[in-house]
Amino acid sequence: MERIAEWLHEKNPGLDGPIDPDEDLIEARLIDSMDFLEFVDLLEELSGRSIDLQEVTIDDFRTLGRVRQRFLSAAG
């Protein structure tokens, strides 16, 4: 999760402090449509798995907690 937080801070230079695991990344505009595919690439790199965009919903990317549960846990 540290690398994801770093990436979000790189994309949002005005962002200070930690990102709450329940913060809505999309509503807060921390991820926008221009960065979305890069974010998916990062998750694929970190998880070691390909993400089929036909099998996920936008809610799977909405919070850090959900990202962890959906893509970075062993059961994901």
Query: In the structure, what pLDDT confidence band is assigned to residue 76 with cuts at 50, 70 and 90?
Result: low
Average pLDDT for the chain:
95
pLDDT computed for residue 13 by the predictor: 95
**What whole-number distance in Å separates Cα of residue 49 and Cα of residue 76?**
10
Q: How far is CA 9 from CA 22, 72, 74, 76, in A?
A: 16, 19, 26, 25
Q: 3-state class of 60 per DSSP?
A: helix
Residue ranges per domain, the chain?
1-75
Average of per-residue pLDDT across 43-50: 97
The conformation of residue 31, written as its DSSP 8-state character, comes to S
Name the superfamily (CATH) of residues 1-75. Answer: ACP-like (1.10.1200.10)
Q: Give CA separation, 25 vs 12, 51, 72, 75, in Å.
A: 11, 19, 17, 23
pLDDT at 7: 98
Judged against a pLDDT cut of 80, whether residue 75 lies above it is answered with: no
- pTM to 2 decimal places: 0.91
